[in-house]
């Protein structure tokens, strides 16, 4: 049962919210040491149970989804069909859309996944259910809240186009949006309508199914149940995980897939140990991150030395190394991110065992914060590093009310992001960050580019002739600010 929050507790949260967002918007070069900040608590009617990581928009605000809640919220706990929200630098939350706003939920319901901001400035996402066929949707939403349903899954017989798209989309260097579905497809697994798909969709809604899992039947040696977003690597291919299936029972896989749909299973979990005691890990529900060393890093929710989940490294050719085995803190269901200091950051566990942590590329883990419901929430969903250097995340369980947004400072300074993170020579690019006024140069992996300073948080430029894949750097009076990851120069 949910706790009733007294007025003084809610006021304290409000004061801390304003404080952290003031720092978030105007962060100086010197940041405080490791500090946890409560930022926002949901109240049901403005959203309930954020189940995904946030994304920072080019306007500096944080955008996200709640899986439940909205104006129709009431007990029971999971009432309501979900929302899209914006959290501004001043700490104010704006609900951009309430799902199931029409009878039958043609706009979708239950957005379990987060958002991605496209090159056109709009945000794109998925709902697990709803739509005209009840099997989920792909949608576009403007920064001001105008939502367009781009695709309704199960538009083909037996849902061969997929159903239940529970993972976030990514926009690739070719401009298409790529995603996965948990079920459906043309596979022959005994679950209704296949074992999930990989798809691409144009920004105006034309969908192509690239691959259907469980193509060989049985226990699905190619994997089954794609619960996580893909990542496009510097080689142009996509890498991802399946939560189940594989060659060693039902422990999950890591795969590579080309933009044209050719899939290679790189690793099947439970290659060490025996199912369900897989010492190399099992059930990788989260996606991967490609680090600056070229390798991929991910998590499993179970398996490992204590059968409580793992953190692993895998090379592009499929050599897997278990870096860390979770114990009492529980496994992770959220993707890792690489911070600007080169370390990996993530969240793990559920209930009172939930943590935020960092881990070096060599496997040394440090617990940064232990969540203690109800004050700080529980069941964290991964992190995003804002251009201020702060990390932000959501919790979907308990919390002071119906889920939270939190901030975490570990002393890292500001940096810049590009939108989009790819482009051919001549493509228009927006660079956003903090304190960009007075910028004197912009370079793409060392190649100078012409630019225009639009505001203290925005610089406009284009990919210069001779640019190659690598870091984008903006030189300001306060110092040089580099992008957190590589900018992909498209051919």
HEC string of 362-387?
Answer: CCCEEEEEECCCCCCCEEEEEEEECC
Domains of the chain and CATH, by start: 7-409 (2.130.10.10), 417-489 (2.60.40.10)
Is the pLDDT at 196 greater than 80, yes or no?
yes
The per-type count for the chain, helices as H runs and strands as E runs, is 1, 40
pLDDT (average), residues 210-237: 90
Residues 6+ apart with CB under 8 A from 1: none
Q: Name the strand (E) or helix (H) holding 23.
A: helix 7-25
- Of the candidate ranges 217-231, 291-305, 368-382, the one whose mean pLDDT is the lowest: 368-382
Tens digit of each residue's pLDDT (9 = 90 or more) over 417-451:
999 888 899 999 999 998 999 999 999 999 999 99
* Among 263, 276, 268, CA closest to 237: 263
Instruction: Give the residues across from 314 on adjacent strands.
Output: 296, 320
Determine the Cα–Cα distance for residues 180 and 111; give it in Å rounded to an integer: 14
Buried b / exposed e over 152-190, threshold 16 CB at 10 Å, is bbbbbeebbbbbbbbbbbbbbbebbbbbbbbbbbbbebe
Tens digit of each residue's pLDDT (9 = 90 or more) over 15-69:
344 444 444 443 333 334 579 988 999 988 999 999 999 999 999 999 999 999 9
Tens digit of each residue's pLDDT (9 = 90 or more) over 86-137:
999 777 999 999 999 889 999 999 999 999 999 999 999 999 999 999 999 9
Is residue 481 within 8 A of residue 473, CB to CB? The reply is: yes
């Amino acid at each position: 049962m949910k706790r009733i929050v007294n007025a003084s507790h809610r006021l304290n949260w409000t004061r801390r919210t304003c404080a952290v967002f003031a720092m978030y918007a105007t962060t100086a070069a010197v940041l405080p040491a490791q500090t946890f900040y409560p930022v926002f608590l949901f109240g049901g009617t403005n959203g309930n149970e954020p189940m995904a990581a946030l994304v920072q928009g080019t306007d500096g605000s944080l955008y996200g989804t709640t899986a439940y809640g909205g104006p129709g919220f009431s007990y029971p706990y999971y009432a309501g069909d979900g929302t899209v929200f914006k959290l501004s630098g001043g700490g104010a939350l704006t609900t951009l859309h309430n799902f199931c706003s029409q009878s039958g939920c043609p706009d979708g319901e239950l957005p379990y996944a987060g958002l991605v901001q496209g090159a056109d400035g709009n945000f794109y996402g998925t709902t697990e259910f709803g739509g005209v066929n009840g099997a989920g949707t792909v949608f576009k939403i403007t920064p001001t809240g105008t939502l367009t349903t781009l695709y309704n899954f199960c538009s083909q017989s037996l849902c061969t186009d997929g159903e239940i798209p529970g993972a976030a989309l990514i926009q690739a260097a070719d401009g298409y949006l790529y995603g996965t579905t948990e079920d459906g497809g043309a596979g022959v697994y005994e679950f209704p309508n296949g074992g999930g798909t990989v798809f691409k969709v144009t920004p105006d809604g034309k969908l192509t199914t690239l691959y259907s899992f469980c193509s060989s039947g049985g226990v699905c040696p190619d994997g089954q149940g794609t619960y996580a977003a893909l990542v496009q690597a510097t080689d142009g291919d996509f890498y991802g995980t399946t939560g189940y299936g594989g060659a060693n029972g039902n422990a999950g896989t890591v795969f590579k897939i080309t933009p044209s749909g050719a899939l290679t299973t790189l690793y099947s979990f439970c290659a060490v140990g025996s199912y369900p005691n897989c010492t190399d890990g099992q059930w990788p529900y989260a996606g991967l991150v490609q680090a600056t060393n070229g390798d991929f890093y991910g998590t499993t929710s179970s398996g490992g030395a204590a059968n409580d989940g793992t953190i692993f490294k895998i090379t592009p050719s499929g050599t897997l190394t278990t870096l860390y085995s979770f114990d009492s803190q529980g496994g992770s269901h959220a993707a890792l991110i690489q911070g600007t200091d080169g370390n990996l950051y993530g969240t793990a566990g559920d209930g009172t065992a939930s943590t935020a942590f960092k881990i070096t590329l060599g496997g040394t883990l440090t617990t940064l914060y232990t969540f203690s419901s109800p004050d700080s929430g529980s069941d964290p969903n991964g992190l995003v590093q804002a251009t201020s250097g702060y990390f932000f995340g959501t919790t979907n369980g308990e919390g002071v009310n119906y889920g939270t947004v939190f901030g975490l400072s570990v002393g890292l300074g500001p940096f810049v992001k590009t939108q989009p993170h790819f482009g051919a020579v001549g493509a228009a690019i927006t660079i956003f960050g903090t304190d960009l006024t007075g910028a004197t140069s912009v370079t793409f992996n060392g190649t100078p580019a012409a630019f225009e300073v639009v505001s203290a948080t925005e610089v406009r430029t284009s990919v210069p002739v001779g640019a190659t894949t690598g870091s984008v750097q903006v030189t300001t009076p306060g110092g040089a600010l580099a992008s957190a990851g590589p900018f992909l120069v498209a051919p």
